[in-house]
Amino acid sequence: MKKVILITGASSGMGKETAKTLIQQGHIVYTVARRIEQMQDLKTLGGHPIQMDVTKERDIDNVVNTIISEHGKIDVLWNNAGFGLYGSVEDIPLDEARKQMEVNVFGMAAMTQKVVPYMRKANAGTIINTSSMGGKMYFPMGAWYHASKHAVEGLSDCLRLELKPFNIKVVVLEPGFIATEFGAVLLDNFSKIPKESAYKNMMDKIAKGTADAAKGNGSSKPSVISDAIVKIVNSHNPKTRYKVGKFSVLMPWMRIYLGDKLFDKIVMSQM
Ligand code: NDP
């Protein structure tokens, strides 16, 4: 069945790849991100790109009002926009940390607040929230990113229960390493950290690990994510969580079953 789908963070990476697939399958796909020029290819394919920053309420209102006036409903909201801020808790300026939470957590909440009233009225809908394997485990230097994704996990669990009486499904996507612009954006953010940082060695290791993950077999193709999203979009009864891509199952499993101290030891042996 043809669905009206709204995807945030579709100017690159897994959002863009999935938008292409869903458009080709005949769905009505609205894609949003700040870099509208990066979504022209989606327009050519038959998608509906709109410029939007998830931290700007006026932008969100514009997008939701446009879709409702054109189609009267939103069947699927995929809250996917996000980025990774890495650096020690001591070094990261709190304003940068707030921006991380604004995009990864409050942006998702703001989108949800604007879309849910229409889904409730329709007594139907699916909300997919992109968390991460990093919402279940952690690396040093990733405090704010991991805090944001742990928050997405908790927020989504509560939301799932709140929306159950209205027949709205809430699904958490937990990607592992996926080859997207994520690594480049994360490395870009290293410039926000003081050059004389006491954590320089660890940061260098993280930078190398991030660059290595982007190479060869270090990460999965974004198509593994689009396969999962297609499954969720077409399911009457989706699972509550989808772990997809390299290390998405192994890492959280290690964290739970090995316990914190052994997991810490394994992670720190790589630093
Ligand atoms: P990309 O960097 O390729 O894509 C991120 C998308 O988010 C872009 O389209 C970007 O668009 C958008 N975005 C960022 N900030 C904003 C904002 N303020 N308003 C609107 N859109 C925004 O990375 P991925 O595709 O990998 O990331 C998608 C999601 O997956 C993120 O939530 C990320 O945390 C998560 N994830 C990624 C993993 C990976 O290994 N790649 C692993 C686990 C989770 P623009 O800059 O044009 O606004």
Measured from the CB, is residue 166 less than 6 Å from ligand 1? no
Measured from the CB, is residue 49 less than 6 Å from ligand 1? no
Reported as a single tens digit per residue, the pLDDT across 187-212 is: 988 888 888 899 999 999 999 988 88
Q: What is the pLDDT of residue 217?
A: 80
CA of 140 to the centre of ligand 1 (A): 21
CA of 12 to the centre of ligand 1 (A): 7
Reported as a single tens digit per residue, the pLDDT across 207-230 is: 998 888 888 788 999 999 999 999
Q: What is the pLDDT of residue 13?
A: 98
Alpha-helical segments (H) within the chain: 13-24, 40-45, 57-71, 94-101, 107-122, 143-163, 182-188, 200-213, 223-233, 250-258, 260-268
Residue 192's Cβ-count burial label (10 Å; 0-12, 13-18, 19+) is middle
**Fold for the domain defined by 4-268:** Rossmann fold (3.40.50)
| Weakly modelled stretches of the chain, pLDDT under 50 | none
Residue pair 205/175 in contact (Cβ under 8 Å)? The answer is no
Measured from the CB, is residue 83 less than 6 Å from ligand 1? yes
Cα 219–chain centre separation: 16
Is residue 195 flagged as an active site residue? Answer: no
Kindly name the residue from 12, 16, 86, 131 that is annotated as catalytic.
131
Is residue 223 flagged as an active site residue? Answer: no
